[in-house]
């Protein structure tokens, strides 16, 4: 994303947050470091729909930006169900879109209850009504069948949710275990970069393990890898993966006490009496992904499933098997054909989903 485009999105976020309560602006500001501007703008759209619905329902008399925290605390599960019905029957949102908007709200309410604190160390919200609301169960269709075929992979908003979980939210699950919390704080940037890189490129485990610092080209957003058959290839990675890699490299040397001679991109914490730091092993990467996946609620998720996730998303949004084949390093195009499992209707939904993340609201 170029600077002008990014600045435009940030300006749009400022416009939207000016219409929202102060605590929503605070939440959005906190997420600036770990979420893309486009995703945050999409969140702001969702929040405006919700708070304007509260006003329309007479749940607060006044302006949207003045809705107090106790107005959220007094909401009942039935009122939230009414809001979800409003999305479905008045705005004609499908179940996937409703789940996405519910996810945005759950993330906000979780921040207000479990992260944000007042000056006297009390949570902003004591009661979180969103924790009582379940996501829509999606009827088993071709997309669900395809998910079973490919294994337990990430879909739609789960890409950013899982990345965000690794980067920040996991610490909430271990906040009462000082050892685990400290370990996460030590390795959060590294682990986020690993997950983000796989989700943003589809690299194999062995390819991630073998990366050196000199293999990363941030200007072209490519990494040099040795593929099967000892073939050298340059593979593109996403903008978000690039940002996460840069964040990691800013702390890599200091956090892991590395000598200049250590050229490995991903390294382990120092171990042994000599505090040796070495290249992160394949098993170590498998274990860290398993740890986060289990805590995230998708225990079947693995490094290979992250690769499947990238490929499924790429094909849904681009429908270009030859390019996907090259990106994944498949020797046979038949191997890549597994990702052609979307029907025409689902391709349309995938394209619509891309529009959902554009910088202008869709009047929903």
Catalytic sites, residue numbers: 204, 228, 304, 307, 330, 339
DSSP for 93-136 reads --HHHHHHHHHHHHHHHHHHHHT-B-TTS-BS-S--GGGGPPPP
Give the integer Cα–Cα distance in Å for 19 and 66: 9
DSSP for 133-179 reads PPPPPPPP-HHHHHHHHH-S---TTHHHHHHHIIIIIHHHHTTT-HH
Residue keyed to tokens 């250590």: 262
| Interacting residues of 197 by C-beta distance below 8 A, sequence separation 6+ | 203, 208, 223, 237, 241, 244, 245
Interhelix angle for 22-31 vs 95-114, to 10°? 100
Chain-centroid distance, C-alpha 158:
6
CA neighbours within 13 Å on the CB side: how many for 27? Answer: 25
* Residue 200, phi then psi, degrees to nearest 5: -105, 10
Contact between 265 and 212 (Cβ < 8 Å) = yes
The SS3 call for residue 291 is helix
Would you call 62 exposed, middle or buried from its count of C-beta atoms within 10 A (0-12, 13-18, 19+)? exposed
- Which tokens is 263 given? 């050229």
User: Of 327, 203, 309, 220, which is closest to residue 266 (Cα–Cα)?
Assistant: 203
Contact between 172 and 112 (Cβ < 8 Å) = no
User: Of 202, 171, 215, 165, which is closest to residue 330 (Cα–Cα)?
Assistant: 202
CA distances, 246 to each of 197, 215, 241 (Å): 11, 14, 9
Secondary structure letter of residue 271 according to DSSP: B
């Amino acid at each position: 994303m170029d600077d002008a485009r990014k600045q435009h999105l940030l300006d749009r976020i400022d416009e939207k947050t000016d219409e929202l309560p102060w605590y929503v602006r605070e939440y959005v500001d906190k997420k600036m470091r770990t979420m893309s501007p486009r995703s945050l703008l999409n969140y702001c759209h969702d929040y405006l729909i919700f708070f304007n619905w509260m006003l329309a329902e007479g749940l607060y008399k006044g302006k949207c930006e003045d809705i107090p925290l106790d107005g959220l605390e007094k909401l009942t599960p039935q009122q939230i169900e009414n809001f979800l019905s409003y999305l479905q029957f008045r705005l004609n949102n499908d179940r996937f879109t409703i789940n996405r908007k519910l996810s945005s709200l759950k993330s906000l309410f979780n921040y207000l209850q479990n992260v944000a604190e007042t000056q006297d160390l009390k949570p902003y919200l004591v009661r979180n009504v969103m924790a009582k609301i379940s996501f829509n169960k999606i009827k088993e269709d071709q997309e669900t069948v395809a998910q079973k075929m490919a294994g337990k992979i990430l879909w739609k908003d789960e890409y950013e949710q899982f990345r965000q979980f690794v980067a920040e939210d996991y610490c909430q699950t271990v906040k009462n275990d000082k050892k685990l919390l400290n370990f996460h704080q030590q390795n959060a940037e590294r682990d986020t970069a690993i997950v983000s890189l796989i989700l943003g490129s589809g690299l194999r485990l062995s390819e991630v393990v073998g990366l050196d610092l000199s293999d990363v080209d941030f200007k072209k957003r490519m990494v040099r890898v040795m593929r099967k058959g000892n073939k050298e290839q340059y593979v593109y990675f996403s903008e978000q993966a690039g940002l996460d890699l840069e964040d990691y490299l800013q702390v890599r040397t200091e956090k892991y006490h590395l000598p200049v001679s250590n050229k490995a991109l991903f390294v382990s914490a120092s171990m042994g009496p000599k505090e040796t730091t070495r290249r992160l092993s394949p098993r170590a990467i498998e274990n860290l992904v398993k740890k986060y996946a289990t805590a995230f609620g998708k225990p079947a998720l693995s490094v290979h499933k992250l690769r499947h996730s990238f490929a499924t998303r790429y094909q849904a949004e681009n429908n270009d098997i030859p390019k996907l084949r090259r990106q994944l390093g498949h020797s046979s195009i038949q191997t890549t054909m597994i990702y052609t499992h979307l029907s025409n209707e689902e391709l349309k939904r995938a394209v619509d989903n891309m529009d959902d993340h554009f910088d202008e609201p869709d009047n929903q």
